[in-house]
Amino acid sequence: MRHFYIFKINSSISKVFKNRPYEVFHTLEMLYYRKEDDINLVVNQLIKPISLKELDILLFKKFKNNYFYMKYKNVHSLHDFYRKESTTLSLHKTFIKMDTNVIKPCFLKELQEFNDLFVCDFENKDYFWLDAFKLSAVFI
C-alpha cells in the first residue's frame, strides 16, 4: 500500500522549482517529520490551501455513476475489483492524502485539472509534479 500526500504549492514557488522537484520534496519531507508547532511558518509560504468544496464536488460529479465509488464526508474511495484498484482519497485543508495499491490511481487523472500539485510518498522517497505525470496508459 502506498501513501501519497498531495500539496498545492504556491504558484510563485512552483515556477522557481518546477525543474527541481527534489528541493520541494526535501522541504516537505522535513515538515513531515517535524512537530506541528514548527510547521505553520513554512506552510504559509510554501503551501496554498486547497479548495475543498470545489474539489469535493468535482470528484463526486466525475465518479458518482461509477459502481465502485463511495463517498463519506471528505473521503472518496474507489474499490475497483476489475482493475484491482483500492484507493482512498482524504481531503484536508492543506493537503490531500491518498492511500492506494496501484501505481496510477484513477483519482490522479481528475486531480490533474488543478495546477501546481506536488505528490510525495515520504516512505518510499517518491515525488513528482502531478502535471508532469503521464497517466494515459492507464485509461485506455
| CATH assignment at residue 78 | 3.30.310.250
Distance (Å, whole) CA 122 – CA 105: 18
Residue 138 lies in a domain: no
Whole-prediction pTM: 0.84
- Sequential DSSP letters for 24-38: HHHHHHHHHTS-HHH
Residue 77 lies in a domain: yes
Residue 97 lies in a domain: yes
Residue 139 lies in a domain: no
The predicted pLDDT at position 100 comes to 93
Residue 15 lies in a domain: yes
Give how many domains the chain has, as a whole number.
Answer: 1
Residue 69 lies in a domain: yes
Strand partners, 127: 120
The one-digit pLDDT tens for each residue of the chain (140 residues) are 899 999 999 888 888 888 889 988 988 888 787 766 556 666 677 888 888 898 899 899 999 898 899 999 899 999 988 888 899 999 998 899 999 998 888 888 888 888 889 999 999 999 999 888 765 544 43
The predicted pLDDT at position 139 comes to 42
Domain of 45 in residue numbering reads as: 2-132
